Chains A and B, each alone.
Chain A
Amino acid sequence: MSFRIPCPQCGERSVYEFRFGGEYSIRPQPGADEDEWYQYNFVRRNEMGSQTEWWYHRLGCRQWLRAVRETRTNKVIRAYFPDETEQTDRGPGES
C-alpha cells in the first residue's frame, strides 16, 4: 500500500504521513437510543467503492481532513478540510 493523499494544504503526500481516523459517520444526537449508539460505535459500513473517511496529517500540517477514496483502487478522489465544504455535513464538532 503506497498511495498518496492530496492534502489540501501540503499537496500529494504518502499515506504513511497520515493517521487513519475511521469512516465518516454522523454522531448520534443526544437522547438517541442505544441501538443508534451501537451502530455508531461498533458497526462499520466497509464500503467496496467510494468511502468517505477521516485522516489526520500527523507528519504534515497536523490538520484533520476528510477524503473520498475508492477502496478497490486506493485512488483518493478528493480530500478536503471539512470547514471548507459547502455540504451540510455534521462532523464530530456539531452538537
Chain B
Amino acid sequence: MAQASPSEGFSFLLNDKPIQAKAGDSIGAAMFRAGVRVFTRSFKHHRPRGLLCVAGNCPNCLMNVDGTPNVRVCTTPARPGMRVAPQNVFPSLEFDVLAASQKFDWLMPVGWYYKTFTRRPVWNAVEPFIRKAAGLGEAPPSIDRFSGEDPDYEQRYVHTEVAVLGGGPSGLTAALEASRQGSRVTLIDEQPQLGGHLRFTPSDAERRRVLAGQVEAAQGVEVLSRAQCFGLYEDGLLGVVQLPRDGGEESLIHVRAERVVVATGVIEAPLLFENNDLVGVMLSSGVERLIGLYGIVPGRRAVIVGDGPRAGRIASLLKDSGVDVAATVRPDQVLSVTGAAQADGVRTAGGKIPCDLVVVCGHLVPNAGLLHQAGGSLDWSDENGAFLPTRLPPHVEAAGQVKGSDLTAAVPSPPAYPDSKRCYACLCEDVTTSDLRTAIREGFDHIETLKRYTTVSMGPCQGRMCQISSIGVCARETGGGMGETGVTTSRPPNPSISLGALAGPRHPPVKRSPLHHEHEALGAVWMNMGQWKRPRYYAPEPDWSEQRIVEREYRAVRERVGVVDVGPLGKIEVRGRDSGKLLDKVYTHRFGSLKAGRVRYAVICDETGTILDDGTISRLADDHYFLTTTTGNLEFVVQWLEWWLVETGWDVHIADVTGGRSSINVAGPKAREVLAELTDIDLETAAFKYMACRRGEVAGAPAVLLRIGFVGEMGWEVHVPADYGVHVWRSVLAAGKEHGILPFGVETQRVLRLEKKHVIVGVDTDALSNPYEADIPWVTKLEKQDFIGKASLGTLQSAAANERLIGFTMLEDGKVPEDGSSVMLDGRPAGRVTSARYSFVNGTAVGLAWVSDELAEEGREIDVRVGGKPARARIQQAAFYDPEGRRLRM
C-alpha cells in the first residue's frame, strides 16, 4: 500500500469511518484531532486506553493498519487510503464484552494460571478459550493482506567509523564533532526530521534549524532517518530497522561501526496512583508533542500532577494553547483519578478537582538499554532519580540526556504508591501494584524473578514505561534500595522488528546446469539437490505414473542408450608437481602411482576412519589430475584438500571448476556407436579400457572423457567447457536418435545404480560408516606410508564390525520399502534401509541396508517394514544386475 507522502489534507479509514488528516500527521494525531479518545483495550482487563506518550513508547495506541497488527499509530505517519482497525476488542473499542473480566479480577490474580490449571485435562479444556481471549493483534492470514503477494523486504549493509544514535541536539553535536575530526559518520535518528525534542518546543525551532542544517551540509555524515537501532551487538555491529519514506515495509540495516555514540535521550514514564491508566491521563511530553508537532489542543481543563519548574513549564504551555489549568498537584497528594472510562477529575485530600485532562510530569528515564546491551552497567543515582550508564566498553560512549547526570528526580525514590488493584505498574500486561506486592510476598522478591512471574516489563513497551516503577515497588517491599534491587537484563531487539525484515529478500541461491533450459524444453520434472535444480525425470505425458516414466528411461539405458546431465557433480582440477603426494595423503587409495590415462574410484576418510566423500580421480598428466566428488560435498572437499596442503610448501594448486564444465554421461549398449559419430577418439575397449580417461574433441568441443560406469552399462562421462554444453548435448541426442536415445533423470539413475549396489555417500553411508563395514574394504591401501585415517583404519580392519551394509531383495510382490525403513528381526528393529527401489530387471524391489553383524549373512531372511507391516526379504551380497560387471567392459 505504498503511497507518496501527501503535502495537503487527505483522509483514511478507521473501521469504515473516514478520518481527516493534515500533511505530517501521525495516524493517532489525526484520530485524536477528529475526537477519538479510546485507542485500545488493555491486554488482560480490557480497560479502555488512550494516548499517553505520543512517542511510540507505550502500548496504548497499538492498532491494526492495513492488516499489519501492533502498529503504534501515535508515531506512524498517516497516508491516504489507509485502513485502521482496533485489535483485542469484542465487539468494539467503545463496548468491549471482555471488560467484564475486571469484575472477576479477584479470580485472576498475578500468576493465576500457574495455580489454577494444574491438571492437564482442565488446561486442555480451557486453553482454546484463553488463547482466543489473550494476545494482542492478529497475524494476517497471508503475508500481504490484500494482494496475496508477499511484500519485498530489503536489507543492506553500512560500514562507518562513527555511528551516532539519536538525532536530538546531543546527537547532532556529536555527529558534527566527529565529522570535523575527519571521521565517516552515520547518524541514526528515529524521527522523519532531525532535531529530537527540539522539534516540538517552539522556542527551540531556530536552534533545531541551525543544527540540523549543519549536519545535513556536513561532508562525510550520512543521515538515516526513520531509523532505530534495536540492538547493539558485539564488535560494533548495530541492528537498525528503518521505515521507508513513502510507505512500504520496514527494512533491516546491518551497521558496522568502529565507535558508537549513544545519544538516545530520556523517556518519560508514568507515575503510580489509583486509576493512573484512564483515558485522558497523559504524560507531559505527550502533551508537548500533541501541541508542538500537530497543533492539537489535548483538552479543555487540565490538572497537572508534578512539581517545580517542570510543572511550571507545562502549565505555561497549556495556558498558551488555550487550556484551562485547574490546579497543579504534587504526585504524593494524588489519591486517585476519577472517572468511568475517561478521566473526569483528580481526587486529593481536599476533594475532587474536575478536569478532562490529567498531565503527569513523570519519571525521566535515560533510554540506556543499548548501553546496557553493549556491556555497560546501570547504576542508581538518588540525586538524579535514575539508573545512569557507567563502565562502558572502550568503543561506546554516551552523550546528552541519556547520561542521566543532569536529571532531577520526579519523585523521591523508592516512590510511594497505593496498594491497589487499579494502580497500574505495567500497562502492557495489566500488572498492578497489588499484583507486584502479592508476588513479592509469595517469594518472587528478586527483580528478575518478579519480572518473570508477573510478566511486568515483558510486554510491547519492554520496560520503557514500567521498569522504574516496578523496581521502585520491589525496592520498597523488600526494604532494599533502588540500586540494590537493580535492573533486569536488557536484550535486543528493542524496539521490535518484524520477522520479514529480519529474513530479508527471500531469494535463496539456486545453481543451474548449463543444460538447464534444454531439460525444461524436454519436459523435465524438477527436483532440488541442495541448491541445484536437477531433472528427476522427463515426463512424456502428464498422466503417466512415475513408475511408467522411470521404466521407459530405464529400458532405454539398459537396452539402447541414454544420456544424463551430471553437471552438478563436483569437479576439481589439481595441478602441480606434488599433486600425487597430496592425493596419496588425503585419499585412502594410491594415486601418486596412478598412470596417466587411468581413472580410479576415490574415497576420503577422516582420522577416525569414517567415510567423508567418494568420487573418481583421473590422471590426465604427470602433474595434472581431474577429481570428481559427490554433488553435496564439493565445497568440503576443496577445503579439506587445502587444509592438508597448509605448511607443506608443496607445489599443488586446487581449482573448483564445477560450474565451468558441462558434464554428461552417455550410457547403454549403443553408447559407443553414438559417441563414435561425434569424436575421433578410439572408443574400442582395446584402445579405451574401462576406468580409463582420454582427452580429445567431441562434436568439435575440447573434451575429457572418462570411461566409468555408475549406472552399470558401457558408458562415458563427457566433460566439456560449459559454453559448449548445449551444443554437445544436442549433438549427442541427434546422433543417438536412430538408436532410440532418451535423456534420463536422477530418479532413473538411482534405480540403475542401485541394481549395481553402487553406494552413494551420505545416502547409504552416514557419520559412523567406515569402508570395512560399508563393504568396500579394497579402497584402503594400508601399505601406504601415511594417509589421513590410516591409524584408525588399521584398527578397524581387524576389529569386529558393529554393523554391515548389505543388499537385499524383497520376496513379496508389490512391496517397495521407503528409504529409511526399519529392518526387523523377531518384531524388533535390527537395522535400517538406506535405499530401496523397484528393480525392473528382477521384478521385485531391491535395496541396501545396515544390519547388525550377526544378521549379515548371505541368504539370511529378514523383515523390512513396508507400509507399517513387516515384509519378507533376503540378504544378497552380489549386485542385483550384472554382478561381474561384464556390461561395463563391453
Contacts and interface: CB of A to CB of B under 8 A. Distances in A.
Nearest to A90: B647
Contact of B650 (A14, A89, A93): A93
Contacts of A19: 639
A46 interface: no
Nearest to A54: B643
Interface in A53-95: 54, 56, 58, 62-64, 74, 82-83, 89-95
Contacts of A41: 607-608, 792
B646 interface: yes
Interface stretch (B144-152, B230-238, B511-519, B821-829): B230-238
Nearest to A91: B647
Interface residues of B, number: 26
Nearest to B642: A64
Given A28-B791, A30-B790, A63-B642, A3 B234 contact: yes
B648 interface: yes
A83 B648 CA distance: 9
B484 interface: no
Contact of A92 (B235, B608, B646): B646
Contacts of B795: 34
A93 B585 CA distance: 9
A64 B607 contact: no
Contacts of B608: 41
B643 A82 contact: no
Contacts of B638: 62
B646 A2 contact: no
B235 A32 contact: no
A58 B790 contact: no
B644 interface: yes
Contacts of B791: 28, 30, 32, 34, 37
A58 B635 CA distance: 9
Contact of B235 (A3, A21, A64, A93): A3
Given A2-B234, A30-B786, A30-B790, A93 B645 contact: yes
Given A2-B235, A40-B607, A93 B644 contact: yes
A2 B157 CA distance: 14
Q: Which secondary structure dominates chain A's binding surface? A: loop
B621 to A, nearest CB: 23
Nearest to A36: B791
A66 to B, nearest CB: 9
A1 interface: yes
B785 interface: yes
B643 A2 contact: no
Given A30-B785, A94-B648, A21 B643 contact: yes
A17 B635 CA distance: 14
A82 B646 contact: yes
A74 B234 contact: yes
B639 A89 contact: no
A56 B589 CA distance: 27
Given A28-B791, A30-B790, A41-B608, A93 B647 contact: yes
A32 B790 CA distance: 11
B646 A93 contact: yes
B572 to A, nearest CB: 13
B235 A95 contact: no
Given A92-B647, A93-B650, A2 B785 contact: no
A56 B646 CA distance: 12
Most buried by A among B233, B585, B648: B648
Interface in B539-596: 585
Contacts of B644: 92-93
A83 B646 contact: yes
B700 to A, nearest CB: 34
Contact of B639 (A3, A56, A95): A56
A92 B642 CA distance: 10
A8 to B, nearest CB: 13
B234 A1 contact: yes
Contacts of A83: 646-647, 649
B229 to A, nearest CB: 14
Nearest to A31: B791
B235 A4 contact: yes
A82 to B, nearest CB: 5
A9 B608 CA distance: 33
B646 A91 contact: yes
Contacts of A30: 785-786, 790-791
A2 B790 CA distance: 38
Contacts of A34: 791, 795
Nearest to B258: A12
A27 B607 CA distance: 10
Given A32-B791, A37-B607, A56-B639, A82 B647 contact: yes
Contacts of A54: 643
Contacts of A4: 235, 256
A15 B204 CA distance: 45
Contacts of A3: 234-235
Contacts of B234: 1-3, 74
B645 to A, nearest CB: 6
Contacts of A32: 791
Given A3-B234, A32-B791, A40-B607, A93 B648 contact: yes
Contact of A37 (B235, B650, B792): B792
A26 to B, nearest CB: 12
Interface in B852-873: none
A94 B644 CA distance: 8
A83 to B, nearest CB: 6
A94 B647 CA distance: 7
B648 to A, nearest CB: 3
A58 B585 CA distance: 23
A56 B647 CA distance: 15
Contacts of B647: 82-83, 89-94
Interface string B772-808: 0000000000000110001110010000000000000
Nearest to A28: B791
A91 B552 CA distance: 53
Contacts of B643: 21, 54, 56, 64, 92
A1 B635 CA distance: 24
A21 B644 CA distance: 12
Given A34-B795, A93-B644, A2 B237 contact: yes
Nearest to B636: A19
A54 B585 CA distance: 20
B687 to A, nearest CB: 39
Interface string B399-442: 00000000000000000000000000000000000000000000
Contacts of A21: 643
Contacts of B645: 93
Interface string B259-282: 000000000000000000000000
A11 to B, nearest CB: 11
Most buried by A among B643, B790, B791: B791
A21 B762 CA distance: 21
A49 B234 CA distance: 17
Contacts of A56: 639, 642-643
B646 A95 contact: no
Nearest to A75: B235
A95 B585 contact: yes
Interface in B742-793: 785-786, 790-792
Nearest to A27: B607
A30 B646 CA distance: 18
A5 B786 CA distance: 34
Contacts of B635: 58
Nearest to B393: A73
Contact of B786 (A2, A58, A95): A95
Nearest to B235: A3
5 contacts: A14-B237, A34-B795, A90-B647, A93-B647, A94-B647
The list of the 5 closest CB pairs from A to B, nearest first, reads: A93-B648, A91-B647, A2-B237, A2-B233, A2-B234
Given A2-B237, A62-B638, A90-B647, 8 more contacts: A2-B235, A41-B607, A41-B608, A56-B642, A64-B639, A91-B647, A93-B648, A95-B786
